[in-house]
Amino acid sequence: MITTNLEREMKVNTSRFGEISVEEPLIITLPDGMIGFEDCKRFVVLHQDPKNPLKWFQSLDDGALAFPIINPWDFKKDYSLSISDADADFLHMDEDTPKIVFVVVTVPRNNPAAMTANLLGPIVINPLRKIGKQVVLSDERYTTRHSIMEEIHMRSNR
């Protein structure tokens, strides 16, 4: 049997994962980049341990750039976000479009339990089009430094 690999791959040298090759369908494009990193537009989600909800949002344009991310509902079940019409248009989304959401996590190197999540700037992805955007929420319930461990602890104490 002859198998042909028609899917194009992209090879990138990363600081954490060495050289990785990413199949094109796994590449997520953020046309505006991440806020403050507007030049980095292509990303892939990588994990070091598949069971760990913490993952990496690895830039494919800068191998040294990777953001720790988590699905917000993995630690905060009542997280809700309303996506503005402008952002929905940008992402080609309507109410029925599935969406993937990650929030950026800051993990202090010497005290990982003090990790916080940025609930005001979630990365919203339209998996059908493989495009995403770090959106800016105007939601006074949330902050850019929400303690993940406190949230989990509070929930388990209820």
Partner 1 sequence: MLVLTRKPDQSIMVGEDIEITILEVRGEQVRIGIQAPKSVMIHRKEVYEQIEEENRSAIISNPDVLPNLDDLVTKKRAENPV
9 contacts partner 1 (rule: CB under 8 A)? no
Interface pattern 67-106 for partner 1 (x via CB under 8 A): xx-x---xx--------xxxx-x--------------xxx
Nearest residue to 152 (alpha-carbon basis) of 80, 81, 73: 73
| 7 vs 95 by CB, closer to partner 1 | 95
| 100 vs 149 by CB, closer to partner 1 | 149
Residue with tokens 């919203």: 124
131 contacts partner 1 (rule: CB under 8 A)? no
Binding site for partner 1 (CB under 8 A): 16, 34-37, 48-49, 51-56, 65-68, 70, 74-75, 84-87, 89, 104-109, 112-113, 115, 118, 120-121, 134, 136-138, 144-145, 148-149, 152-153, 156-157
